Homo-oligomer: A and B are copies of this chain.
Amino acid sequence: MIVVMKHGATARQIANVIARIEQLGFRTHLSEGVERTIIGIIGNERPLDKEQIVRWDGVEKIVPILHPFKLASRDFQPEDTVVSLNGIRIGGKAVVVMAGPCAVESRQQLLEIAQAVKAAGATILRGGAFKPRTSPYSFQGLGLEGLEILAEARAQTGLLVVTEVVSPDQVPLVGTYADILQIGARNMQNYALLQAVGKAHKPVLLKRGMMSTIEELLMSAEYILSQGNERLMLCERGIRTFETYTRNTLDINAVPLLKQLTHLPVIVDPSHGTGKWELVTAVSRAAVAAGADGLLIEVHNHPEQALSDGAQSLKPERFAELMTELRRVAEAVGRTL
């Protein structure tokens, strides 16, 4: 961490800053420049509160040097994390496809879709039982009944199940039915929830908030990792920008950037990332070409009647075509599907 002193800071102010930092147990390094004096703080700066130090007399600003995340970083763990469950390896050579409806709407709907995505090559079934919706007047999910239907689909198809958990007290219940616990974008900074899944014995899929930076995503990952749960995947699902033709702007840069910064597997959700089914195929191909370890894709047998996300859901036939295209792209970049 670097403390930049104000233009014209006095010798006394500089001495005081040094003394206070050393009292906190850090060594310091003074460098007097032409326009500014700066003081380097040597050691693990993460526990220091830069908002305090910036208020010390004569201080202009504080510049962190280290990434604030640690367990999630490549510095800490250089080799890739591979999340293994039931023979599926997420973060390995094969690109993993998770597909299914936004919400579980009925037994028939889910079983039909599950069969279809299985036939096309998906290995994990997605589907929401508890749905966070912008409007209190929208369908809020089937709850427990939805979880039971998911379990039935798993039994029938052999697909694993990923589903969202929305409050800490639900973690045990959802964990009974799900293979992977999903933290939705709106809950990326719901720390009570992050701590709860950090203590669970289930893999977690953590979605990036729609207006969260990569650093904040990694800090939320740090909450989960620091509770001891290392079976964690990150998911880029589009961020909010000024563009209005698409629901979100999928941040394709995030894929290689995350692969560089962290050892955790990176999943991409092109359905939320675009909000338009017509764009999902092209953006899915792009995600695999960019190095994604997996995709999370919304598929619905009747999007024109879907209770949520109809506009961005692929029909099963289109999804099957997409899988064929993805296989070719995966091979072109040295992966399999």
Contact = CB atoms under 8 A, between A and B. Distances in A.
State the copy count for this chain.
4
A253 B239 contact: no
A115 interface: no
A33 interface: yes
A288 B168 CA distance: 39
B213 A244 contact: yes
Interface residues of A, number: 112
Contact of A285 (B193, B222, B260, B290): B290
Contacts of A65: 2, 4, 33, 36, 38, 63
A69 B250 CA distance: 25
Given A55-B310, A291-B282, A306-B52, A246 B240 contact: no
A262 to B, nearest CB: 12
Which of A63, A253, A277 gathers most chain B CB within 10 Å? Answer: A253
Interface in A133-156: 133-138, 140
Interface stretch (A40-48, A83-91, A172-180): A40-48
A286 B245 CA distance: 20
Interface string A14-44: 0000000000000001011111101010111
